[in-house]
Structures are given as C-alpha cells and as structure tokens.
Amino acid sequence: MNILLEFTTINYKMWHSLAKRLNEFYPGSKFAGIRGCSPTLRNEQTYFFKAQQDIKYEFLLWNHEIMNEAFEYEIDFEELRKFEEKLPHKSLWRVIAADRGLGHAFMHNVVWPKTVNNTYENILRVFVGLLNKYREIFDRFKPDLFLPAIAMGSVTVFIFEQICKERKIPYLVPSNVRVKNIFAFSSDTQLRFPQIDETYKEIYEGRINIDFSPAQKLYSELMNELENPQYFDRVNSRFDIVRYDSFLKKMRLLASAIKLIIRQTLSLVNMLLRRSNNKGHPGNFTTYFSSISEGIQFLLQKYRISNPNFTEKINYKQKYIYYPLHISPEYSTQVQGTMWLDQLYLIELLAKSIPCDWKVYVKEHPGVLVCRTRSFSFYKKIKNLPNVRLVPIDTDMHQLICNAEMVAVITGTSGWEAIQRGKPVITFADNMWDVLDLSRKCTDVEMLSKDLHDEIHRIKQISHDERKKRIVCLLASMLMHGFNVSYPNQLVYTEPGTDDEYEVLGKEVADALKTHLEYLKIDKGCKLVC
C-alpha cells in the first residue's frame, strides 16, 4: 500500500507514529509526506526526520517550496474551468476565499498578515500551479490512501479532495464529532460523517438491533455535564481572561508590546541577512510592519475585550437569540462556512430577522485572547446595532444557551449543546447533527426571518422523549464508528504534546483507521471493493 501523509507544524510526530503502526498492519507499504511548518520550526522537523530510522519515506516535500514553484506557472483558464465544474458549488472563488493567503481580501474585520501579493493574476497563477504540482506528486507516488492534516484552512484541502475523487483514492481525516474525546474519519473537506449518518437512520428506524446501554450512559453523562457549573470553568481555563484594571497589569501589557517589536525586528534582520523572500511574497519590510501592527492590535484587543465597561451586562429577562462569535480565520469559518466569512454581515442579518421584542446577544470567543485579532471597528459596529448586545467574554455560555429563545451558529459546539437542551437552532453550514432534524440550515437570507419563526414553532412540537431518542440513536452510531483518543487537544494541535503522547495518539488513530478501512470494504491494496 502507498500511503501519502500531510504533516503539520506541531504534531508531525503523531503522524510518524501512525505511519509506523500502519507499516506493522500492512508490511511492505511505502510512505511519503507533504510537510507544512512555521519557519521557526523547520529545522527541528528536518532534524527529526533525518534522525529517525523507523520509516524510509519516498519523499518529504515542503509545501512552501511547492508554493514558490507554483508562481512559475501561467494562467490556464481551461484547467481552472475544469476544476471549477467538479466543485459541488461550482465556484473557484469560493475555494480561494477559504485560503488565508490567497483569499486575504475576503477576510472581513480580521487583522491578518498579508503573505501573498494577491492580485487577480497572481491568485489564479498560483492556483493553477498548486493544482498541477500536487497532481504531479500524486502521479509520481500513486498513493492508495491519502491522510490529510486535520483542519488545514487553505485551497490545498480542496485540491487534495478533488485529486482524490478523480483517482478514486480514499481521503480520510480524523475529526472530532463534538462528543467527549470521540473522533471519526471524515471523507471530505466539510468534515461530514456519512457512515455515522447512515447507521443513525438504520438504528432509528429499527433496521438493526443494538445494545443501547452505552449510548444511554453517554447521553446521561452529557446531560450531567451541561448542568455542572464547573464545566464552563474547565473550558474557560484554556484561555487567559485577565482584567487589566491595575497599573501593574497595564505595564505588563506594555512590556508585551515592546517584546513583540524586538522579536519581529530580530526576525527581520535574520531574513535580510539570509536575503529570504519567497516568490510572490509582499516583501520582508511589508511583512515586518504588518506583523507588528497585528501584534499591537492583538494586545489592545485583549485589553479592550477584557474590560467590563466595554460590554453590556446581561438581562436574562430579555428575549434573545444567542450568537457566539467564531474565531477567524479558522477552518470552521474559512472552509466549512466560507460564505459567512463576514460575521458582522451575519449578525446584521439576524438583527433584521428577529421578532420585534427580541435582541441578539453576541459573545466573543475566549480564543481571541490567545490568538487571532479583529479590527478595532468590528466591535463598535456590533454595538451600534440598536437590537444587538455585546455581552462580557467571560459570561457562562451555558447560561446564555439555557436562557436563549434560540441559538444561531455557523458550526460549533454551542449549536450541539442547544440541541441537547431542546432549543431551536439556526445554522449556516453543514454540521454533524443535521441528520437529527432538530435544527434548520439557512439557505436563503431573504427567508431568514420566516425560518426563525417556523423553526421555533416546529421544535415545540417535538417531545422530550422523541428528542432523546434521536440523540441516543446518534450517540449509538458515533460509538459504532468512532474511536476514543487519549489526548484530543494534541491530536488537533491546539496544545503541544510530548513524544510519548504522540506515540500513543499515532497508534490509536492507526488502529481506528484499519477498522474503518475494513468497514469501507477496502482491501490491503486499498482498492474499493465493488
């Protein structure tokens, strides 16, 4: 079996561990990799792969070098049209908008360094180049299986997906199903789980008999967690919510700004000494000033959003629809919710669609205190909307959901929790719970107000027992097709892990992958069995 892997900056050791385990299952397999990595960690990753003796990789290519070579290509509109025609939504620009570099202009109200001279010609040239370069790689190695990195927000995810479809190569990415530490394999960029959906329908309709006790136990655990007041504290502990209300804390913030400038200046000097400047890159000085600007704005954002006077106290007696802001850029918005990159526009739509006695309660994601920066005007525009309220960032999201008339999300955990609580939910992208028919996806903004009205009344007609039945059946399907991982944050690289943790994760994912390939009726040569 030929297995092509996409390595990431942080958890490349996990993928290497997975390769070792797969080599045990399928002796004689060949492995190759496409590597992504931040400039500061490239040497570390290079040393690791040179030092290891476990797997003889056929090649390990850097994606930034592939990007540089892509600039050499000429625009081929015929090739672009062919690719566009194969897309479900028939839009190449929708794919480009999902990329943080090429689609920089589409990232509204987000402060993000400009890493590509994204002119019209440059964008199309690079896309054609990437498409051809990756096709050459696939033609060279002829993989039987492709394992992409988890949630990489760029045009490459769509290119990889289409190449795999063209060649009938399994495209399998382990993704969290938003229940505990359970992961399952998704076969597309939207992170859908057709195997879970199909089995859910069979269970719900009684076409297969199973032992429901594990799913019922899991359901009880989820309900207990929702009622546990310490649950929110555990979630929030990942983020640094600090009130900069003292002189000392403000001085620490100033010190952070000075350190940022020094760090970026040293980085600039290093790049100039090496004369480092990638093709199509805006330039060292542009990147330098852009990075400093972003860093300063991030620190100011951190100060402002943590200030209790910047937001409004919550009135739970007020009827409201709750909208939790999504971090941007992030896979959930860039790839899954590409049409909703401008979240301010989405909030305005909600404000224009809610009943006259409602308000829209917006809460910032605590993750913005760790990374990602919004423009200074973003929050001001939200606060200027007469029926919209920006609530404190440390507000208990469970209380917000519990007291809401309705919850609106692009995708995410808040929507799933609202469904468990029996709340009406409006979504703007595909979600793993869609199969339950306990939410409504907005497909026409002109009809959003009617969708809100109809969904409220529809959900009221569904009894608690019926809701529980559907959720338990879905949990049962997740348990059948999913697998538990010991270190979920390390798997999705939100937290760094140890060598031992990556070793364990690699084995867990590889074991689950073998089971999934057997479910798909894929033999050791990884060819679909008709």
Given the DSSP bridges, would you call strands 110-111 and 373-374 parallel, antiparallel or unpaired?
A: antiparallel
What HEC string does 252-272 produce?
HHHHHHHHHHHHHHHHHHHHH
pTM: 0.87
Element (H, E) at 410: none
Q: In sequence order, which ranges of 275-337 are alpha helices (DSSP H)?
A: 284-305, 331
Per-residue pLDDT reduced to its tens digit, 61-79: 998 899 889 988 999 999 9
Q: Which residues of the chain have pLDDT under 70?
A: 229-254, 257, 260-261, 263-294, 523-530
pLDDT recorded at residue 289: 64
Long-range pairs for 198-203: beta carbons < 8 A, 24 or more residues apart: 199/477, 199/480, 199/481, 200/435, 200/473, 200/474, 200/476, 200/477, 201/435, 203/473, 203/476, 203/477
What is the sign, positive or negative, of the torsion defined by CA atoms of 433, 434, 436, 442?
positive
Q: How far is CA 167 from CA 4, 11, 139, 267, 321, in A?
A: 14, 28, 10, 42, 45
How many Cβ atoms from other residues are within 10 Å of residue 76's Cβ? 17
- In the sheet that holds 388-391, the strands lie side by side as 388-391, 358-363, 319-324, 406-409, 425-427, 440-441
Q: In sequence order, which ranges of 32-190 are alpha helices (DSSP H)?
A: 42-51, 63-70, 77-86, 92-97, 120-141, 155-167
How many Cβ atoms from other residues are within 10 Å of residue 361's Cβ? 24
pLDDT recorded at residue 40: 73
Q: Which residue from 179, 198, 219, 214 is spatially nearest to 469, judged by alpha carbons?
A: 219
Cα 33 from Cα 60, distance rounded (Å):
5
The CATH number for 311-477, chosen from 3.40.50.1100, 3.40.50.300, 3.40.50.2000, 3.40.190.290, is: 3.40.50.2000
pLDDT recorded at residue 138: 97
List, in order, residues 6 or more apart from 44 with CB less than 8 Å away: none
Q: Which residue from 59, 248, 228 is spatially nearest to 140, judged by alpha carbons?
A: 59
Considering just the CA atoms, what is the radius of gyration of the chain in Å? 24
Element (H, E) at 483: strand 483-484
Report the alpha-carbon angle 198-83-155, nearest 5.
Answer: 80
Virtual CA dihedral for 442, 448, 452, 457, nearest 10 degrees? -90
Per-residue pLDDT reduced to its tens digit, 204-255: 999 999 999 999 999 999 999 887 755 445 445 444 555 555 556 566 666 7
Cα 33 from Cα 48, distance rounded (Å):
14
Q: Which residues pair with 320 in a beta bridge?
A: 359
Q: Which residue from 362, 357, 296 is spatially nearest to 323, judged by alpha carbons?
A: 362
List, in order, residues 6 or more apart from 158 with CB less than 8 Å away: 87, 95, 98, 189
Cα 449 from Cα 445, distance rounded (Å):
8
Cα 467 from Cα 204, distance rounded (Å):
12
Cα 338 from Cα 129, distance rounded (Å):
23
Instruction: Judge whether 407 and 327 are in contact, CB under 8 Å.
Output: no
* 3-state SS assignment for residue 330: coil
Residues in the chain: 530
* 3-state SS assignment for residue 21: helix
Cα 24 from Cα 171, distance rounded (Å):
21
pLDDT recorded at residue 530: 29
Instruction: Judge whether 440 and 418 are in contact, CB under 8 Å.
Output: no
For 109: left if phi > 0, alpha if psi spans -120 to 50, otherwise beta; the answer is left
Q: How far is CA 491 from CA 31, 123, 133, 329, 516, in A?
A: 20, 32, 28, 20, 18
What is the sign, positive or negative, of the torsion defined by CA atoms of 417, 353, 328, 196?
positive
Cα 466 from Cα 461, distance rounded (Å):
10
Cα 86 from Cα 88, distance rounded (Å):
6
pLDDT recorded at residue 291: 67
| CATH number at 2-197+483-519 | 3.40.50
How many Cβ atoms from other residues are within 10 Å of residue 510's Cβ? 21
Q: Which residue from 144, 141, 138 is spatially nearest to 1, judged by alpha carbons?
A: 144
